Amino acid sequence: MSRASAQMPFVRLVGASCLAAALLWACGPDGEQAGAPRLKTLRLCYNPYLTYAPLFVARDEGFFAEQGIALEFVRLQQSQYGLPALTAGQVEVLCGPMSAGVLNAIARGADIKMVADRGYIRPGSCSTSAVFARRDLVEGGLLEDREHIKDLVFCCSRDTVTAYLMDKLLARFDLALRDLKRVYLPPAAYAEALEQGTVDLVMAPEPWGTRLLKAGHSVLWVADQGVAPDGQLAYMAFGPALLERDPELGRAFIVAYLKGVRQLKEGKTERNVEILTRSTGLDREIVMDACWSAFREDGRLNVKSVLDFQAWAVGAGLVDTPVSPEQFWDPSFVDQANHVLNAAE
């Protein structure tokens, strides 16, 4: 796909080049204050989800501006446009769920690499992604019977980490997703589908999991910690603009991102809740009740988990050519960022 022809149907949202007046960077005609250092613009694919929390915090607290970065959030109408947008140079940073698509793109020579963790399954924490089942199935003990499970309708994606987690769960019953009835619905339709009985189980991330519990028609059957503890759920990737042409800017981006991660570790403080409520458009009550995603403070990827996901994808016929850690993972950005942050403490 050429850059000239790659017209993705996405909507650009207002970025962070103009920060709040309380910050050092005031927005003038050019988005800069007279005499202030010129900010470099970076574009990042996003959706207004809680999984982007460190980025929202880093933007609103001025951590990106401190690093000389004006971060522009680019909202995609559909998540599958993220990889083409990155490879076409329409964005410099991609945040995505672990998927067969990114591994296939790398195997085919795409100049992209994962550079940081963007969410994992933290053992002992609340569940950010879980399998929810119709209440009558759980209360009737019907999910303990393999033959009954075979007749149920499952809702999850085909090639992302949610399908991987569901398959690992079903393996306990000597079943696999490919053997079962499966449909795909957008998360906003989960509650109605479970209530009407058109689906029996869904793999739902937050905040949809909290919404399902509040609706009362379904219950949490199995949490993600019980399926893949410490598993890698999502990644952050760079394209050639940061891997090759300006790696220093990439390292500065990761410094700001990890500062956002560290602030989130303070928990549901008034400031963090206020930022996430405004950035996601969710009700404050949902933000308070939802399980916030876990992010590794050092930003490192769980390579073993990625390889396990890849092995599953190969077995499911979703990945033809496996890639090595050296092909999909560049730890130099988080290593340097941690050095900078630790030296400043």
Instruction: List, for residues 127-186, the tens digit of each pLDDT value.
Output: 888 899 999 999 999 998 888 899 999 998 888 898 999 999 999 999 988 888 989 898
Q: Measure the CA–CA gap between 38 and 33, rounded to whole angstroms.
A: 9
**Sequence ranges of the domains in the chain:** 10-120+231-344, 129-226
Q: What pLDDT does residue 116 have?
A: 98
Confidence label for 209 from pLDDT (cuts 50, 70 and 90)? very high
Rounded to the nearest 5 degrees, what angle is found at the Cα of 280, between the Cα atoms of 328 and 184?
60
Q: Which residues contact 184 (CB under 8 A, 6 or more apart)?
A: 155, 156, 157, 158
Question: In which region does residue 303 sit, left (phi positive, over 0), alpha (psi from -120 to 50) or beta (all else)?
Answer: alpha
User: What's domain 10-120+231-344's superfamily in CATH?
Assistant: Periplasmic binding protein-like II (3.40.190.10)
Tokens encoding 282? 């969710």
Q: What whole-number percentage of the chain has pLDDT above 70?
A: 88
Same fold across 10-120+231-344 and 129-226: yes
Q: 36 falls in which pLDDT band (50, 70, 90)?
A: low
> Residue 79's pLDDT band (boundaries 50, 70, 90)?
low
- Residue 11 reports pLDDT greater than 90: no
Mean pLDDT of the chain: 88
Report which DSSP code applies to 244. Answer: I
Give yes or no for a contact between 165 and 129, defined as CB atoms under 8 angstroms apart: yes
- Look at residue 119 and tell me whether its pLDDT is greater than 90: yes
Minimal CA–CA distance to 70: which of 122, 108, 30? 30
pLDDT tens profile 280-304: 999 999 999 999 999 999 999 999 9
**Which residues are registered as beta bridge partners of 204?**
130
Q: Which CATH class is domain 129-226?
A: alpha beta
pLDDT band at 17 (very low <50, low <70, confident <90, very high): very low
Sheet containing strand 234-238, strands side by side: 10-12, 69-76, 40-46, 93-97, 234-238, 113-117
Given a cut of 60, whether residue 2 has pLDDT beyond it is: no
Q: What residues are paired with 130 via a beta bridge?
A: 204, 223
* 69-76/153-155 β-pairing: unpaired
Name every residue whose Cβ is closer than 8 Å to that of residue 211 and which is 6 or more positions away in sequence.
191, 286
**Is the dihedral angle over the CA atoms 321, 322, 326, 329 positive or is it negative?**
positive
